[in-house]
C-alpha cells in the first residue's frame, strides 16, 4: 500500500472521495483505512456550496458540501470543553480550539462556498469528513479553479504510482 | 432516524435544459448559473420599488403586463401576472438565449436583483406544457464569475469524470 499521501490534505472531487475503498483496521484512531488506487488517504480538502446545516449546540455541526459532482457530509465537533478526549490537554489550548470551532460553525450557512479540510471518516458505511478547518471563499471563480486543481493533481500526482500513471 | 441523503445538484448549463436533454427529468437535482432577467410580480405590486433600468406597464386585455429591458437591450414581455401569486415568486434567469423559470419561495437571505448572476441548486418540476421550473433550495449571487471559464472548466470536469468511471470499471 502506497503511504505517500498519508499526511497530505488530498484535494479530491466529491464523486472521487465518495468512491474510496474502505478497509476495516485494528487501529482505534483510524478504524477504517481509505484507499484510492492502492494509495492510503486520510486527510482531505474539498470545496463546494453548503447545502444543508444541522446544529447540535455544544456537540457538533453537521453540514453538506455540494461540489457539483457529489454531496459530502462534514462534521465539525463543538464539544471540546466537555469531551474527555481533551481533558488532559492544556485548558487554554482547548479553549482556543473550541473558540475556533465555534467561529467556523458561525460561518457555515446554506449557500456559502466553503473550503473544508479534515480527516476522512466512515459512518454507517458512508464517507464523511471530520472537519479541521473551514475557509469561506468569496471569489465566484474559485470553484472552477478547484475543479481544475483536482483534475491536474489527480492526473499528475495522485494517479501516479511507482509503475507510472494509472 | 437518519435524515434522507441530500442529492447533489448536477452541473448543467441552461442551454442543456431542453426536453431532449438527459438532464430534463421530473425531480432531477441540478445546479444552474444564469443572469437574473426578470421577476413575475403579483398584481398590485408597487412599481415604485422596482429599480430596473427600463420598465413599462400596460393594462391590456390579457391583464396586467410588464415589459422590461434586459441588460442586453432585449425587450421581453412577461405573461399574465395573474397566473402567479406572491407566494410562488417566480424569477427567470438567462444564459445566452436560454432561460429558466426559478421558484424562489424556499430561498432565504438572498435578494434578487435584475442583471446579477445567480447560481441555484434545486429540483426540476416539469409542467404539463413541458416547460421546466427549478424549485430552488440553495442560491447565491456570483457576480464577477467568468462564464466562459466556467463553461470550459465544466467540459473538462465532465471528461475527467467519464475517464475516471471508465478506468474504474475496466
Question: Considering only alpha carbons, which residue of chain B is nearest residue A150?
Answer: B157
Q: For B105, how many CA atoms within 13 A lie in the half-sphere containing its CB?
A: 12
SS3 of residue A21 by DSSP: strand
**Residue for grid cell 455540494:** A66
Confidence band for B56, pLDDT divided at 50, 70 and 90:
very low
Q: Which residue has the higher pLDDT, B93 or B50?
A: B93
For residue B162, list chain A residues with Cβ-Cβ distance below 8 A. Answer: none
What residues in B contact A68, CB-CB < 8 Å?
A: 8-11, 31, 157
Residues of B in contact with A54 (CB under 8 A): 3
The answer to whether the CB atoms of A144 and B31 lie below 8 A apart is no
Percentage of residues in chain B with pLDDT exceeding 70? Answer: 63
A160 vs A14, more confident: A14
Residue B85 in contact with residue B102, Cβ under 8 Å?
A: no
pLDDT of residue A154 exceeding 80: yes
Looking at chain A, which residue has its C-alpha nearest residue B2? A124
Superfamily of domain B72-168: Nucleic acid-binding proteins (2.40.50.140)
3-class DSSP assignment, residue B169: helix
A117: left (phi over 0), alpha (psi -120 to 50) or beta: beta
**Fold adopted by A10-158:** OB fold (Dihydrolipoamide Acetyltransferase, E2P) (2.40.50)
Domain boundaries, chain A: 10-158
| Contact check, Cβ <8 Å, B139/A111 | yes
- ipTM over the 0.85 cut-off: yes
pLDDT recorded at residue A99: 96
Q: Is A40 exposed, middle or buried (0-12, 13-18, 19+ CB in 10 A)?
A: middle
Amino acid at each position: 500500500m502506497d503511504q505517500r499521501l498519508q499526511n497530505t490534505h488530498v484535494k479530491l472531487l466529491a464523486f472521487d472521495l465518495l468512491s474510496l475503498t474502505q478497509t476495516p483496521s485494528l487501529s482505534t484512531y483510524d478504524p477504517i483505512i481509505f484507499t484510492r488506487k492502492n494509495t492510503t488517504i486520510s486527510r482531505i480538502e474539498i470545496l463546494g456550496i453548503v447545502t444543508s446545516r444541522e446544529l447540535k449546540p455544544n456537540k457538533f455541526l453537521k453540514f453538506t458540501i455540494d461540489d457539483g459532482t457529489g454531496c459530502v457530509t462534514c462534521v465539525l465537533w463543538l464539544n471540546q470543553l466537555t469531551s474527555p478526549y481533551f481533558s488532559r490537554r492544556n485548558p487554554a489550548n482547548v479553549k482556543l480550539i473550541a473558540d475556533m470551532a465555534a467561529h467556523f460553525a458561525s460561518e457555515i450557512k446554506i449557500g456559502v462556498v466553503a473550503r473544508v479540510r479534515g480527516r476522512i471518516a466512515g459512518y454507517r458505511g458512508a464517507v464523511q469528513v471530520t472537519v479541521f478547518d473551514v475557509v469561506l471563499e468569496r471569489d465566484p471563480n474559485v470553484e472552477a479553479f478547484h475543479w481544475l486543481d483536482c483534475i491536474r493533481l489527480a492526473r499528475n500526482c495522485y494517479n501516479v504510482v511507482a509503475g507510472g500513471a494509472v | 432516524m437518519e435524515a434522507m441523503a441530500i442529492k447533489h445538484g448536477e452541473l448543467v448549463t441552461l442551454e442543456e435544459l431542453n426536453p431532449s436533454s438527459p438532464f430534463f427529468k421530473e425531480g432531477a437535482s441540478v445546479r444552474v448559473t444564469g443572469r437574473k432577467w426578470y421577476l413575475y410580480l403579483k398584481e398590485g405590486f408597487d412599481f415604485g420599488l422596482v429599480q430596473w433600468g427600463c420598465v413599462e406597464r400596460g393594462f391590456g386585455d390579457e391583464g396586467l403586463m410588464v415589459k422590461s429591458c434586459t441588460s442586453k437591450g432585449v425587450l421581453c414581455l412577461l405573461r399574465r401576472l395573474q397566473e402567479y401569486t406572491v407566494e410562488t415568486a417566480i424569477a427567470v434567469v438567462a444564459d445566452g438565449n436560454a432561460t429558466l423559470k426559478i421558484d424562489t419561495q424556499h430561498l432565504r437571505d438572498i435578494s434578487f436583483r435584475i442583471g446579477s448572476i445567480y447560481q441555484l441548486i434545486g429540483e426540476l418540476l416539469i409542467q404539463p406544457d413541458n416547460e421546466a421550473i427549478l424549485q430552488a433550495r440553495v442560491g447565491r449571487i456570483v457576480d464577477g464569475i467568468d462564464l466562459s471559464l466556467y463553461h470550459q472548466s465544466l467540459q473538462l470536469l465532465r471528461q475527467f469524470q467519464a475517464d475516471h468511471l471508465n478506468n474504474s470499471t475496466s
